[in-house]
Structure 1
Amino acid sequence: MTVTDRTGGDLPRGRVTVELDDIQATVLRYRPEPYYGTHVMLHVDDARAGRELLRELAPRIDSAADWWHAREPWIAAALTYSGLAALGVPEDSLQSFPEAFRVGMAARAHELHDYGANDPQHWDREFGTGAIHVAVSVFSDSEEKWRRTMDTARRHYEGRPGLRVLTAQDFGAQPGDLNPLGYRDSIGQPAIEGSGIEPLPGQGMAIKAGEFILGYPGEAGVPLPAPRPEVLGRNGTYVGLRKYQSRVGAFNRFLHANAQTHDERELLAAKLVGRWRSGAPLTLAPDRDDPALGADPLRNNDFTYAADQHGRQVPRGSHMRRMNPRDTKMSVLVDVNIHRIIRRSTTFGAPYDPDALSQQDDETPRGLYFVFLSAKAMATMEFLQQEWINNGNFMSLGDERDPNVGLQQDGAIFTIPHAPVRRRIHGLETFNVLRGGEYFFLPSLTALRWLGEEH
């Protein structure tokens, strides 16, 4: 599904000031609906084999040119720091990457507040060890095209001496494209200045391209530091990947323990996120779900919090409001635009089951690959984890944490403002447990070709 399909008509075109034909398509192209795909994680045992893979893949990776009209599946390729080193990238180039990228996500567990159940010692064995070198992802809007494109990608790495597949995870194909906890997601992406499309209703002013793509001015008016040489850094970006196991049983038990009827449980679920299951925002549908609103991209993000500063419609601690406070008056002042991310998250495993209530259901293989892009992904993720996800001070909520992806403490609470008396719900659990994570560099098409050469 293209952006035009999502809006049901032609989009307001804007100026193009970034080099779309050199930027990987996945930076700007929206995830299809429905969507099918696979994430493949590779290890490079032989630098020459790794470079050959990139040379062969580069012509098959779509650019972002005309990203709003895309009809075909696309392939994305990204590399970890250890992957760049395994390819033989020169040392001066390797040292030009940010420290957090060089050491990797697992080594930044303290800064990311990845403690307890989220500690890297509990991650799947592929993650956090430096073993993952290259990630190849395929996105498609149909099963037939996905399988065909995967066959194409597979021919380039499967059975090639010097390369090993560490893990391959199929994703998508969920009923209604719902995430593991039963919500429609990936609503409310940031508008990017110079991308060729004017902001959609509710997106606000377009954010400077340099916040998301290296080589262009950011909100501060200057480009962010980029890897050297310029051919490597320009038009690239960084990707953060965090694999979550969704504890659906715990989530459903929480709803049943704190709401008596189906309608009350659905309202509580909406309060936790800020949207109904359909994607309809509580700000526009405060009393009951509105699936037509949730499915309409020209309306489902067109709102502000100006008239709801106390959070009586959308709790200030809800997941959506934490991750994009918009015009909320916060206790800790911050420029929201410099902390926005592009999201390409994908759901895997068994679909959401509203009847799953046991602890065994918590271990059913299903969850979310939280995939986000930003020209400063590492710093942004650390800020979000420290300040907006695992802290409540910026919203005057004390120790309260994000109810969706926060790492909850014993006795965790969630506050629902109400007149005359607010409601405080106790017993919030960690509903999404971290099972792995990596930082990747997503090169431009020019840089992919450069990485395919011997240096």
Structure 2
Amino acid sequence: MALVELDDIQATVLRYRPEPYYGTHVMLHIDDVRAGRDFLRDLTPHVASAADWWQNKEPWIAVAITYSGLVALGVPDDSLQSFPEAFRVGMAARARELRDDGVNDPLHWEPDFGTGVIHLAVSVFSDSEDSWRRTMDLARRHYDGRQGLTVLSTHDFGAQPGDLNPLGYRDSIGQPAIEGSGVDPLPGQGPAIKAGEFVLGYPGESGVPLPSPQPDILGRNGTYVGLRKYQSQVGAFNRFLHANARTDDERELLAAKLIGRWRSGAPLTLAPDHDDPALGADPLRNNDFTYAADPDGRQVPLGAHMRRMNPRDTKMAILADANIHRVIRRSTTYGAPYDPGALSEADDRTPHGLYFLFISAKAMATMEFLQQEWINNGNFMSLGDERDPNVGVQQPGATFTIPRDPVRRRIHGIETFNVLRGGEYFFLPSLSALRWLGTRQ
């Protein structure tokens, strides 16, 4: 087993999002190469590493860089060309491969996203409002008013009652176990996945490391991050539940069937008939299951979001190794809490949603696979053109199938409940790489 250099890897790669959580994503533009390098040099001592990540409760700062940001920092051309093509051209340019069409087309994205002007993302994560504000003040002192650096936008997140997302679910359950990360897998995680699937410089599941940016000090212990900002259509979601279920209990069961978990996080495999909040809150139990006893999806529909994103032992019509398609998720919620009484079209326009952050040593290829095959297609589960009910882009008349005896139920009129409002690919350098970038002449 390869020893993972935790003290050189940024904390965000391994440290779980706290509960409760507070934080901010700040998007920056580099106007002057010297100013960009000086900023990294000054901020890097405050960027947390993944050392002892499983017991560290302190707030932390993370720094990620787009391809255009590496250009703005004056990274040599031979190094720039060593990055994957999908990273170099950016998420918006890969819209076709990501199936980002219709309402998710980059033409509809918020300003700055997908234009190349975002160079740096500075993120702060904390478990309390006070420590979040103190850590934000520390980070702000390094970028606010610095000549040659422009603040494009700030995005606060978190502070939701019960840490629920805008559609009312507890999320970020079921992270992959990583070999050499310092902790044993939790029940239900399965064998640890090779570190090279998530961090550059280590063997992956194939037994060899993935190609890494050069020189080695730039690439090793780094990884890639994809950020996708979704706006949740809470009114459309609630209208769908009301149109297809008569009582509150029936609506809650339908909501659970869409995701594969009750809103508390309790999986349908372990709580098939009613919610169990204690189970949902228990990390030693809430992910400890397989689909062996549910091959036809009578408990968890084959097209449920959770089953699509991690099929586990489900027998798939189109075979794929789930381990090489896993991502580390650091999703964060923004805006007003979920309101079960929100039913109008005006409620769909309320600015609340989630920042879906996914981390992988091959984040671009993995996300394109997931978007093409598991999210916006149903063939791998013999579901035809059905799409993921949570983040899929739905077509007119779209359906969702709930297997049951004696006859399956096909629900029509499912809509796109989370609309993409922007996205970027980032490189998350190691601490050594940040120092190298900040001190180059």
In 1, the alpha carbon distance for the partners of 2:251 and 2:152 equals 40
1:350 maps to which of 320, 336, 339: 336
Amino acid paired to 1:447 = A
1:248 maps to which of 210, 234, 239: 234
Question: How far is 1:102 from its partner?
Answer: 0.1
What is the root-mean-square deviation of aligned Cα atoms in Å? 0.7
Amino acid paired to 1:355 = G
Question: How far is 1:16 from its partner?
Answer: 7.6
Superposed counterparts of 1:144-223, under 5 Å: 144-223=130-209
1:84 maps to which of 70, 79, 82: 70
Superposed counterparts of 1:82-161, under 5 Å: 82-161=68-147
Structure 1 residue ranges, 4+ long, deviating more than 4 angstroms after superposition? none
Amino acid paired to 1:372 = F
1:339 maps to which of 311, 325, 337: 325
Aligned to 2:37: 51
Amino acid paired to 1:281 = P
Aligned to 1:20: 6
Is the 8 Å Cα contact of residues 28 and 152 (structure 2) preserved in structure 1? yes
Is the 8 Å Cα contact of residues 282 and 313 (structure 1) preserved in structure 2? yes
1:292 maps to which of 270, 274, 278: 278
Look up the SS of the partner of 1:69 in the other structure: coil
Is the 8 Å Cα contact of residues 16 and 195 (structure 1) preserved in structure 2? no
Aligned to 1:5: none
User: Is 1:303–2:289 an aligned residue pair?
Assistant: yes
Superposed CA deviations along residues 210-265 of structure 1, whole A, max 9, x for unmatched, are: 00000000000000000000000000000000000000000000000000000000
Aligned to 2:399: 413
Superposed counterparts of 1:222-301, under 5 Å: 222-301=208-287
Look up the SS of the partner of 1:255 in the other structure: helix
In 2, the alpha carbon distance for the partners of 1:69 and 1:434 equals 34
In 1, the alpha carbon distance for the partners of 2:18 and 2:85 equals 34
1:450 maps to which of 426, 436, 440: 436
Look up the SS of the partner of 2:407 in the other structure: coil
In 2, the alpha carbon distance for the partners of 1:298 and 1:177 equals 19
In 1, the alpha carbon distance for the partners of 2:351 and 2:96 equals 27
Aligned to 1:8: none
Amino acid paired to 1:62 = A
Is the 8 Å Cα contact of residues 16 and 196 (structure 1) preserved in structure 2? no
In 2, the alpha carbon distance for the partners of 1:340 and 1:272 equals 20
In 2, the alpha carbon distance for the partners of 1:97 and 1:61 equals 23
In 1, the alpha carbon distance for the partners of 2:117 and 2:360 equals 23
Amino acid paired to 1:297 = P
Amino acid paired to 1:48 = R
Amino acid paired to 1:87 = L
In 1, the alpha carbon distance for the partners of 2:2 and 2:76 equals 33
In 1, the alpha carbon distance for the partners of 2:88 and 2:71 equals 10
In 2, the alpha carbon distance for the partners of 1:340 and 1:117 equals 26
Is the 8 Å Cα contact of residues 106 and 422 (structure 2) preserved in structure 1? yes
In 2, the alpha carbon distance for the partners of 1:96 and 1:57 equals 26
Is the 8 Å Cα contact of residues 88 and 454 (structure 1) preserved in structure 2? no
Aligned to 2:361: 375
Amino acid paired to 1:81 = Y
Amino acid paired to 1:85 = V
In 1, the alpha carbon distance for the partners of 2:47 and 2:409 equals 50
Superposed CA deviations along residues 285-342 of structure 1, whole A, max 9, x for unmatched, are: 0000000000000000000001101000000000000000000000000100000000
Amino acid paired to 1:116 = G
Aligned to 2:350: 364
In 2, the alpha carbon distance for the partners of 1:84 and 1:431 equals 35
Look up the SS of the partner of 1:196 in the other structure: coil
In 1, the alpha carbon distance for the partners of 2:289 and 2:38 equals 48
In 1, the alpha carbon distance for the partners of 2:81 and 2:66 equals 13
Is the 8 Å Cα contact of residues 2 and 202 (structure 2) preserved in structure 1? no
In 2, the alpha carbon distance for the partners of 1:126 and 1:297 equals 38
Question: How far is 1:17 from its partner?
Answer: 1.3
TM norm structure 1: 0.96
Amino acid paired to 1:226 = S
Is the 8 Å Cα contact of residues 236 and 345 (structure 2) preserved in structure 1? yes
Aligned to 2:416: 430
Look up the SS of the partner of 2:182 in the other structure: strand
Question: How far is 1:454 from its partner?
Answer: 2.6
Aligned to 1:397: 383
Question: How far is 1:174 from its partner?
Answer: 0.3
TM norm structure 2: 0.99
| Unaligned residue ranges in structure 2 (runs of 5+) | none
Equivalent pairs, count: 441
Amino acid paired to 1:288 = H
In 2, the alpha carbon distance for the partners of 1:36 and 1:91 equals 38
User: Is 1:66–2:52 an aligned residue pair?
Assistant: yes
Look up the SS of the partner of 1:207 in the other structure: coil
